[in-house]
Structure 1
Amino acid sequence: MSELIPTVDLTAADAAAVDTALQRAGFLQVVGHDLPGGAAGAVRAAAREFFALPEEVKRRYAVDVGGRGWLPPGVEANERVEDGAAGSPPDLKESFAIGPFTPTGDAGMDAVWFPPNVWPAEVPALREAATAYCTAMERVAGDLLELCAASLGLDRGALRDLAVHPTWTFNINRYPPLTEVGAPAPGQFRIGPHTDFGTVTLLDREPGAGGLQVDVAGHGWTDAPYAPDALTVNVGDLLAHWTGHRWRAGRHRVLPPQAHAPDEDLISLVFFFELDHDAVVTPLAPPLGHENLEPVVSAPFLRERLDAISVQPPV
């Protein structure tokens, strides 16, 4: 699997290897990111405190998909964004969503793309831990955008210059154990098959029996490689569009809890990085791009996909 989803060092990446991997699977493992030691562990510890609260307490912080706060079980079905999957069952997870800390000052735009974060009073450590983590991840995401451009022989700022005041979402996903959720429905996953919507997704995950699988061209569904010091990175729809579909949006899923590991309870830290809400993304033309595609604006491109995965009306 390492030859299909290679591990690259952000400080000395092989451009050709990056380009090849992103064409084949849309996934990389990344080291050399210089994240503060213990940052992910601090977020997980605080998140576990929050998720362990009674449902009536968590309900005070409940939001619908795209909001900031608690996303209860049953509100997302990621597979529904794929054609012909409108009846897919909801994902077996709960999440806590966090967004950018600095609004634009445009009240209408901020209400949609830069709403205020919601911090649970019962777990004050979550705010400090998540703020430190997201600040570091925004820097790493910017470095990745530079790497993406350089791997195609372009100026390193070709993408990063479109992320001056970027939108992003940090989801802390909890995948409850089988003993809590019961047997999955037919076709039900912790997260159903899908691609992410933005530029790059940076994932710090816990390995497990019901873990991450990647759809690799020519190989089908394959267990994602794991290394404790590496971030798992995948291409989103917007980045794939920018490359004229040269690169593959990384299609993936998280398996349901497994009968042989009924107590497995995992937390994944998922940082979805996007561009400025009003960024105009002009796809690369052939021969560098593989298709002639029309320019798109970041915000409506993302909103269409967010709406597609929502299972129920706003909370």
Structure 2
Amino acid sequence: MKLLQVPVIDISAFSAGTAEEKQHIARQVDQACRDIGFLVISGHGVSPERIADMRRVSRAFFDLPHAEKARVARPAPDVTRGYIGMEEESVGRLRDANAKAGDLNESLMIGPVDLPPAAYAFAPEAGKHFAPNLWPEQPAELREVWSAYYREMGKLAQTLMRIFALGLGLEETFFDDKIDRHISRLRVRNYPAQIAQPVPGQIRAGAHSDYGSLTILAAEDRPGGLQVCNAEGVWVDVPIVPDCYIINIGDLMARWTNDTWVSTLHRVVNPPAGSGEDSRRQSLVFFHNPNYDAEISCIPTCRAEGEVPRYQPITSGEYLRNAFVTTQN
């Protein structure tokens, strides 16, 4: 039966498990990615203390006056670094060009914290994927905490990509050389408590799919949360399970798999009227993106003999550049 709700999968046995245990996990993940494009993972190995540190320093940043946050404002639409203020972005615009209202959140984002050799990072075809990060002066420890978390997410993403490879009938290390210089983004979104009534059609984050290979999300169980559109076209809540991460695949993984796996529409809805301060919500989001020169073309195991791929090959870097610019107001 096709999954219509987001499953919870324990991946703890993958790193040191037997071949049979790895395949069992990979089969569960494969079904989730085929049916709904989302899963919740336990046994990921990231300490609760590291997540708590990220939440603490990020909340302190967003509590700063707007003028202070704006000192590290995103410099240009094609530079995925820095602060983006309330209603300055509409993530739904990539799927719906008529999406007008800006999203009801603010965010801060960084890219790679450990650069590859300069000849690769600053080659013409690299574009701005290795642009310098914009670090706020306050809180003073933010840079250290975020850098450590970014590295931790990179390791978890590699494990997940190995699970993906087995789930797709490939060698476990199939994706390793396509993500060893990844251009991922770490972004924290702050959804302030809603005091004023939103304009008609305006929500915390419009319906969209993510752009890259996969997303690792640590969310809070607060009013006005994440929903995913299932195979029957019904919006269902994504469960918030303590000490677990929400994982979803993005457009590049869907293209890699010839849409065998689905990059599912999801959104963040408004809290019920009158929720007050309890509706403030913060999401730690790691958007894992392959190397900018990784070719995204149909994986052989995802295409029947004689079947024509749905998409022309494209590099990760080119696809992402187009997506970043489209979502800006």
Q: Residues of 1 paired with 2:156 and 2:306: CA distance?
A: 25
One-letter amino acid of the structure 2 residue matched with residue 7 of structure 1: V
1:296 Cα offset (Å): 1.4
The 1:168/1:247 distance shift into structure 2, 3 A limit, reads same
Match of 1:190 in 2: 204
1:30 Cα offset (Å): 1.0
1:219 Cα offset (Å): 4.9
Residues 244 and 290 in structure 1, CA contact (< 8 A), matched pair in contact too: no
1:177 Cα offset (Å): 0.8
Q: Residues of 2 paired with 1:100 and 1:287: CA distance?
A: 37
State which drifts further: 266-275 or 46-55.
46-55
Q: Residues of 2 paired with 1:187 and 1:3: CA distance?
A: 25
Equivalent residue of 2:80, what SS? coil
Q: Residues of 1 paired with 2:291 and 2:164: CA distance?
A: 17
Q: Does residue 273 of the first structure (1) align with residue 288 of the second (2)?
A: yes
Q: Residues of 2 paired with 1:76 and 1:290: CA distance?
A: 38
1:69 Cα offset (Å): 1.4
Match of 1:287 in 2: 304
Equivalent residue of 1:60, what SS? helix
What is the count of residue pairs matched by the alignment? 308
Which residues of 2 match residues 139-288 of structure 1 at below 5 A?
139-179=155-195, 182-263=196-277, 264-285=279-300, 286-287=303-304
1:18 Cα offset (Å): 1.5
Which residues of 2 match residues 60-75 of structure 1 at below 5 A?
60-63=71-74, 64-65=76-77, 66-75=79-88
Q: Does residue 98 of the first structure (1) align with residue 110 of the second (2)?
A: yes
Residues 244 and 289 in structure 1, CA contact (< 8 A), matched pair in contact too: no
One-letter amino acid of the structure 1 residue matched with residue 60 of structure 2: E
One-letter amino acid of the structure 1 residue matched with residue 298 of structure 2: P
1:2 Cα offset (Å): 8.3
Residues 4 and 21 in structure 1, CA contact (< 8 A), matched pair in contact too: no
Match of 2:58 in 1: 47
Point out where structure 1 has 5 or more consecutive residues left out of the alignment: none
Match of 1:8 in 2: 9
The 1:39/1:295 distance shift into structure 2, 3 A limit, reads same
Match of 1:296 in 2: 314
One-letter amino acid of the structure 2 residue matched with residue 184 of structure 1: P
One-letter amino acid of the structure 2 residue matched with residue 61 of structure 1: V
1:75 Cα offset (Å): 1.7
Which residues of 2 match residues 18-57 of structure 1 at below 5 A?
18-57=29-68
1:287 Cα offset (Å): 2.6
* Residues 58-111 of structure 1: CA deviation (Å, up to 9, x unaligned): 11111144432111112210110014x334311000000011012341434666
1:290 Cα offset (Å): 8.1
One-letter amino acid of the structure 2 residue matched with residue 91 of structure 1: D
One-letter amino acid of the structure 2 residue matched with residue 15 of structure 1: A
Residues 4 and 230 in structure 2, CA contact (< 8 A), matched pair in contact too: no
Q: Residues of 2 paired with 1:157 and 1:288: CA distance?
A: 24
The 1:223/1:114 distance shift into structure 2, 3 A limit, reads same
Residues 162 and 276 in structure 1, CA contact (< 8 A), matched pair in contact too: yes
Q: Give the TM-score, by structure 1 length.
A: 0.92
One-letter amino acid of the structure 1 residue matched with residue 41 of structure 2: V
Residues 3 and 32 in structure 2, CA contact (< 8 A), matched pair in contact too: no
Q: Does residue 89 of the first structure (1) align with residue 106 of the second (2)?
A: no
Q: Residues of 2 paired with 1:308 and 1:280: CA distance?
A: 22
1:189 Cα offset (Å): 1.2
Point out where structure 2 has 5 or more consecutive residues left out of the alignment: 15-23
- Cα RMSD after superposing both structures: 2.0
Q: Give the TM-score, by structure 2 length.
A: 0.88
Residues 243 and 289 in structure 1, CA contact (< 8 A), matched pair in contact too: no
* Residues 170-197 of structure 1: CA deviation (Å, up to 9, x unaligned): 1100001112xx1111111111000000
Q: Residues of 2 paired with 1:170 and 1:308: CA distance?
A: 19
State which drifts further: 107-116 or 265-274.
107-116
Equivalent residue of 2:326, what SS? helix
The 1:30/1:128 distance shift into structure 2, 3 A limit, reads same
